[in-house]
Amino acid sequence: MSKDFTMKQVTIVVPKGIATNLSSITGSFEILTSANEYWQKIGNKPMIEVRIAGFMTELKLDAGFFSIYPVNIKEIKKTDLLIIPSLSSDHDNVIKENAALITWIMEQYKSGAEIASICTGAFLLAAAGILEGKTCSTHWNAATDFRRLFPNVHLQIDKLITVEEGIYTNGGAYSFLNLILFLVEKYFDRDTAIFCSKIFQIDIERSSQSAFFIFQTQKNHGDELICQAQTYIEENLSEKISFEELASKLAISRRNFDRRFIKATGNTPVEYLQRVKVEVAKRTLEKGRKSIFEVMNEVGYSDDKAFREVFKKITGLSPLDYRVKYNKKAVLV
């Protein structure tokens, strides 16, 4: 079925500051322009026009080795698709530096533009107020900072891509390639997306970043009692932990213990215990030659079915598949 022709305007924005990630700008530009060239090669009119725009005339990145010369964003009155690249750390400062860009992003969304944020580009999207009450993804390593700044956004770091009301977000680092393929399929068609996946050698069916997640024990929350509980959990992984007894030891009711634990860590005590266990299991599977059974016992599981289910729920892979993927010396058991 042929598509009705309408030239779409795509704008890749360039935030101020050295925190901007160059690869997510150039990668997005290259894949989208390649898709457009292929689309024309098979007999169609150009589908999109891609521009890189910002509030500055030049931005030097990566110790000055690279420079970007964006077009003046003030000259762009309307765009159909707006892409926000990935940012590095120091998110508070990046948001302050880009107040004008955040306002422009909000205005474009109100005017009907769709918006895609790459990795930590979600911070600018959320700062524009567009994600309030909505679901989004970002890099798992930035999750704590994101939740601190935007508590009313439903962050789902296991998701590689989220879609909601003309808003598209994705997980971390080079997973943005999958987001761009998703956009190619949406704006062109499936065949063009498959062509790009083959040319750029991107796994088009990847849907989760769970296997890449490194669980970090959140202890900078300021609740000393919960810090004690976290330490107890981490030091007694092989034991059967009763949270009723732990709460009693800490002289707090179970209900208040759960409430404070969730507020401090973003996880229930049970979820936290599971994530710590799985993180230790992952590291053992990556580095050692122990059997799945040995690893399971070391982190306090006696039921191999329960261990496999929890492991797969958190990582997206079975323990065996995880070991095969990340341990070159792995042997089948």
- pLDDT tens, 194-206? 899 999 988 876 6
Say whether pLDDT at 210 is over 50. yes
pLDDT in the model for residue 103? 96
Nearest to 246 by CA among 256, 260, 232: 232
Q: What is the pTM of this model?
A: 0.67
pLDDT in the model for residue 208? 59
Nearest to 277 by CA among 243, 306, 253: 306
Say whether pLDDT at 2 is over 70. no
Average pLDDT over residues 253-275: 91
> How, if at all, do strands 161-164 and 66-68 pair?
unpaired
Instruction: Tokens 């191999």: give the residue.
Output: 304
Where does 139-276 show beta strands of DSSP type E? 154-155, 161-164, 167-170
Say whether pLDDT at 246 is over 60. yes
Q: How is residue 261 written in tokens?
A: 């634990």
Q: How is residue 132 written in tokens?
A: 């309030």
Question: Given pLDDT bands bounded at 50, 70 and 90, which one contains residue 3?
Answer: very low
Say whether pLDDT at 187 is over 60. yes
Express as a percent the part of the chain with pLDDT over 70.
92
Specify the DSSP class assigned to residue 10. Answer: E
Say whether pLDDT at 99 is over 50. yes
106 vs 215: CA distance, rounded Å: 33
pLDDT in the model for residue 206? 64
CB 79 within 8 A of CB 107: no
Say whether pLDDT at 178 is over 50. yes
24 vs 19: CA distance, rounded Å: 12
Say whether pLDDT at 283 is over 90. no
Say whether pLDDT at 230 is over 50. yes
Question: Given pLDDT bands bounded at 50, 70 and 90, which one contains residue 285?
Answer: confident
Weakest mean pLDDT among 14-18, 39-43, 150-154:
14-18
Domain 224-326 fold is Arc Repressor Mutant, subunit A (1.10.10)
Say whether pLDDT at 40 is over 50. yes
Say whether pLDDT at 70 is over 50. yes
pLDDT in the model for residue 333? 44
Element (H, E) at 48: strand 48-54
Nearest to 116 by CA among 85, 141, 145: 85
Question: Given pLDDT bands bounded at 50, 70 and 90, which one contains residue 1?
Answer: very low
Say whether pLDDT at 212 is over 60. no
Query: Any idea where the domains of the chain sit in the sequence?
Result: 8-210, 224-326
Average pLDDT over residues 113-135: 94
CB 38 within 8 A of CB 192: yes
| pLDDT, the chain, mean | 88
pLDDT in the model for residue 152? 93
Of residues 45 and 208, the one with the higher pLDDT is 45
Average pLDDT over residues 89-103: 90
Of residues 6 and 317, the one with the higher pLDDT is 317
Tell me the three state secondary structure of residue 285.
helix
Rounded to 10 deg, the angle between the 319-326 and 304-315 helix axes is 50
Average pLDDT over residues 104-114: 95
Of residues 160 and 17, the one with the higher pLDDT is 160
Q: How is residue 302 written in tokens?
A: 């006696």
Domain 8-210 fold is Rossmann fold (3.40.50)
